[in-house]
Amino acid sequence: MAQELGKLEVAEHLEKSIPGLYSPRLRSNPEFGLRDLEDIKRRGPYDLVVGLSMGGVYAIRIPSTYTILINPGFGISEGIKTKEPRFAEGFKKLEDLPILAENVTGFIAIDDKIRFYTEPVFKELFGKKNLINYPGKHIPTIEELDKYIIPKIKKLL
């Protein structure tokens, strides 16, 4: 059975597996996350941006040649209302920012509990041909990263 990972462990594995990849950490509180986003944008432009879950919502607001989204948290401003209502307004501000990413590829897990919402939004924004479904849940395992996601990222580089 595959070990469940946290988002930080996924970022660390991606950094180890893809030479030169830097994955800045965004704070969960959107008040700070929006500041982090501005700092990240100032350091660009970037060849590749990778965003996982909530990070995917930020990632598409960063100018880049290629953007990889892994189970992006589209609609987070609505979804967060039940868990952390104080963050909903900040995430709405994030969602209202323009999309700056180019060449966006999305990986959406077949068993992701929010797939019913995120997949149609992804297709509307970036097209069906840029979507790859893979077996797994919201946070990918090391095995899923190594088999489905990292090889595609390396092809882009």
Q: Write down the pLDDT at residue 1.
A: 42
* Residue 109 predicted with pLDDT over 60: yes
pLDDT in tens, 1-48: 444 556 778 888 998 998 777 677 787 788 898 999 999 999 988 888
Per-residue burial over 63-95, b = 16 or more CB atoms within 10 Å of its CB, e = otherwise: ebebbbbbbbbbebbebbeeeeeebbebbeebe
Provide the mean pLDDT of the chain. 86
Hey, is 86 helix, strand or coil? helix
pTM for the model stands at: 0.89
Q: Write down the pLDDT at residue 82.
A: 67
What is the set of domains in the chain, with CATH numbers?
Answer: 7-156 (3.40.50.1820)
Q: Write down the pLDDT at residue 70.
A: 95
Q: Write down the pLDDT at residue 89.
A: 82
Beta strand pairing call for 131-134 and 64-70: unpaired
Q: Where residue 118 falls among pLDDT bands split at 50, 70, 90? A: very high
**How far apart, in whole angstroms, are the C-alpha atoms of residue 142 and residue 128?**
26
Share of the chain above pLDDT 70, in %: 89
